[in-house]
Amino acid sequence: MKSSSLSKNQPHLESVFGALSVEDDSKIRSILKNADDVLLEIANHFGRDRAGWEGTGLELTWMESGQVAISSFVGACTARGGCVDFTIDLQPSWYYGEKASTLSWNIESGIQADCGHFDDHGGMDQVHEVIATTKTPIGAAIEVLNAVQELRRLATTFPLEHWLEMSSDH
C-alpha cells in the first residue's frame, strides 16, 4: 500500500471521485480538510499529534491491486498496552472492480480494539462500524466529515477500556 496526504501533497482526487469541476474539487477539499482537523482532534484527545500514516489526516491510498480510496485512522493505547484504532475509509463503487450503472461511494467508519479473547488470534476486532452510501462526490465528502465527527464523539465519550472490553471474552 502507498499513501499520499491530501492536505500536504494535494493529490488528484479523480481516481476516487471521477471527473470533478474546479468548483467541486475545491469544495470537496475544503470539507475533507475539516475532517482532517477532526481526526487530529481525536489524536490530541489521546495525547498524540498524528492521524493516518503521514500524520496529517486523510490520505489517498493505493493498494497493489490497483484499488484507490481515501482513508485514515487514529491509534491510541492504554497504559497497560491495549490499543484501539478509530478508522475512516471512503471507497468508490468501483473499488472492488464491480461496474455499476450508477456511481456511488461507501463511507465506512469503525473502531477496532486489540483482541482480548482467551484464544488470542493476534489481531484487532471490529467493535463498532457504520457504513453510509451516497450518490455524489460532495455527498461522500460530507459523509466522511459526519463520520469522523461521530468518531470524535465516541472517542471522547468512552474510555479506551470500553472498546477493549467489547473485544474481550469477559
- CATH class assigned to 2-166: alpha beta
What angle do helix axes 137-157 and 22-45 make, rounded to 10 degrees?
10
> Lowest mean pLDDT: which of 26-30, 39-43, 80-84, 126-130?
80-84
| pLDDT tens, position by position, 126-161 | 999 999 999 999 999 999 999 999 999 999 999 999
Evaluate whether 124 touches 160 at the Cβ level (below 8 Å): no
Number of C-beta neighbours around residue 112 at 10 A: 21
Does pLDDT of 170 surpass 60? no
> Domain ranges in the chain?
2-166
Which is nearest to 44 in space by CA: 74, 84, 81, 88? 74
